[in-house]
Structure 1
């Protein structure tokens, strides 16, 4: 039988479908009818209520934060080929446009068309190229904290200090990583807890709500890298 058959042996009151990273999922009809809520992903046909991070809003917020901190030449080393990266680029460009500023560049973190942390990294070569360019950035926004860690290493090799010479900011807040970098990393925390809480409320509600998309805000974690 299918996964759904296995799950339904337990006669659950409700079924949630969660993904490791934000993506569109094409559910078969039977599954779409059985799933009460989707977490960190959205059903391609919009038949199921979905809770997702507000990627575009999160990118706007971190860019505005960098602008308020006086940064004007901002590069973005983004995660290629995934929904989060696509939406964040929209927010990144919109926030810069609001400030009347051109981006220094939007560059892919890896050499594959779709991001994976096992794909060959392009981060060090991008940082080297940015530093040699006539428009050296004063801030680098990173697609996740792992990319930020590589940016730290590349800047250290070039003898530059964070945030004095270049600010670094990121998305994720993998606390083990972000809090231990030197200096600790300013990053946009994904709304995992909020998604979980709201999913429970939706699943336990007396009346199911009509399917719609909830975009939950990121939370800015200010540390010393900006």
Structure 2
């Protein structure tokens, strides 16, 4: 079954609006709409499109959820798929040395994170055999910023602005649970082209588009 999120991505791609931001909000933990966002990357990953996933929650949780939606990611790691462990970088929880998985060593505060993150992006881009025309970026549970940074709004705005500094189009997906980090919701709505929300009514999962219009 095609999800609402799949329809939005198809629309953006087919209408030459690839350079967009789509925020996926889970109003309830049980709605699990973030899994639809990961699943939307399955085809691009398998087709060798460039994909960067930044984990603001445990990297192991992100990897678990990639497996959960059936993404065979290991063969693509370090070639066209890259994982950045923002959570581990700030919390000093370093994963074993795995090709395609990046973290920031040493001291990290809000300003240092932004500078080193930008340098890391440039490093990853320079490793591409040829410049792509487009890439997908997913922020895995950006609500985690409230646990990582003193000023999560500033960090989020600066990270989102980096899309303008790369020489290709970027389709950014954001997964977010507002109950864990309420201050980011206004930023998400302001800077997103589409916002999709998931919630639970009784035993039924509901999905609505609260910003953006599909034709």
- Scaled to the shorter chain, the TM-score interval is 0.3 to 0.5
The alignment's TM-score, normalised by the length of structure 2, stands at 0.41
Q: Greater relative contact order: 1 or 2 (C-alpha under 8 angstroms, separation 6 or more)? A: 2
The alignment's TM-score, normalised by the length of structure 1, stands at 0.39
Q: Give the structure with the larger helix fraction.
A: 2
